[in-house]
Amino acid sequence: MIPTVRRIVVRYSTFLILAALMLLFSLVSSRFLQVNNLLNIVDQSALLAIVAIGVTYTIISGGIDLSVGSVVALVGAVSAGLIVRAGLPVPVGILLGLVFGALLGLVNGLFVVYGRLQPFVATLAMMAIARGLTLLYTQGRPISGMGEAYTFFGSRLGPIPVSILVLLVVVLVSGTVLRRTPFGAYVYAVGGNEETTRLAGVAVSRVKLGAYAFSGLMAAVGGIILTARLWSAQPQAATGLELQAIAATVLGGASLMGGAGTILGTVAGALIMGVLANGLNLAGVSSYLQQVITGGIFILAVLLDMWTKRQKV
């Protein structure tokens, strides 16, 4: 039946675009489909995917989080600093880093909920503040020497990058929370119609606080992975990552108006960005031109998505 086909195309358009790009690049370069290259792509995309999953929560709830790039850098610096400078054990340093990230997210949420700031404004401020704190804390210089227990998160377990395993856990947990728990249902409901959700007796404030705290936590996970991969906390790490994360989320079918979006869609969106970067590299496209192409594909993908969705049954 035609409507069923259309439904599938609409629903899985992100995955279809991903598949089409992979097909295209496999024709361009024979190296593209090699297992090691594919693992590389996922490894490279995992950081973006994890951070974007956090952003997806805020976007579904009708908000946005622009601070994630800076939070990635700040959490990386603080966790590395706690271990290297303060001499804390690695697990404690990592754990405190994660808690710190969640707190930064919670602060975003507090300004959104109780300060009634627009999420764009609140998280834009946090983006500047967290980046500035990173520079202050690091004095603009990298922090390194955390030891192997830390850099493990940027290494491989046999052939499998650890970041992919972390991503799997994150997808499983965040997907289950979103699809199966009341909190997840309310994240959608708040984004779909906040007033109705409030009148239904749902504690809207707590739902929003939860979404922003979760976004901060995911950025923190990203911060640990990035710092581990680089063997050092870089003060300018993850600059601009927030925009990529938003792009991945939108590619994944989330609506910036709130109320819609999925975890797997966001992961596919992040993979599209990773496949593009990797494939264009293999094809020998200059990194300057790559940005142009990535932006163009982004627009095309979103147009295609809108276009298919508009053709309602």
How far are the Cα atoms of 56, 164, 286 from residue 49, in angstroms, in the given order? 10, 10, 24
Nearer to other proteins, 61 or 134 (CB): 61
Binding string, residues 229-268; x marks residues near other proteins by CB under 8 A = ------------------------------xx--------
Nearer to other proteins, 43 or 194 (CB): 194
How far are the Cα atoms of 31, 103, 152, 277 from residue 167, in angstroms, in the given order? 24, 21, 15, 19
Measured between alpha carbons, how far is 98 from 86 in angstroms, rounded to an integer? 17
Candidate list 59, 98, 106, 202; residue touching other proteins; CB under 8 A? 202
Stretch that binds other proteins, among 10-18, 23-31, 94-102, 190-198 (CB under 8 A): 190-198
Candidate list 1, 4, 158, 195; residue touching other proteins; CB under 8 A? 195
Stretch that binds other proteins, among 9-17, 105-113, 153-161, 197-205 (CB under 8 A): 197-205
| Closest distance to other proteins from the beta carbon of 90 (Å) | 31
Nearer to other proteins, 59 or 273 (CB): 59
Residue 276 structure tokens: 């593009």
Candidate list 26, 37, 193, 290; residue touching other proteins; CB under 8 A? 193
| Closest distance to other proteins from the beta carbon of 304 (Å) | 20
Measured between alpha carbons, how far is 40 from 25 in angstroms, rounded to an integer? 15
Nearer to other proteins, 76 or 253 (CB): 253
Measured between alpha carbons, how far is 43 from 14 in angstroms, rounded to an integer? 19
Among the listed residues 12, 6, 13, the one whose alpha carbon sits nearest the alpha carbon of residue 302: 13
| Bridge partner list, 144 | 232
The reply to whether 3 sits near other proteins by the rule CB under 8 A is: no
Nearer to other proteins, 68 or 190 (CB): 190
| Closest distance to other proteins from the beta carbon of 195 (Å) | 7
∠ CA(119), CA(96), CA(269), 5° rounding? 45
**Kind of pairing between the strands at 160-161 and 232-233:** unpaired
| Contacts to other proteins from residues 88-147, by CB under 8 A | none
| Residue 91 C-beta-side C-alpha neighbours within 13 Å | 0
Stretch that binds other proteins, among 18-26, 92-100, 144-152, 189-197 (CB under 8 A): 189-197
Dihedral of alpha carbons 278, 284, 285, 287, sign = positive
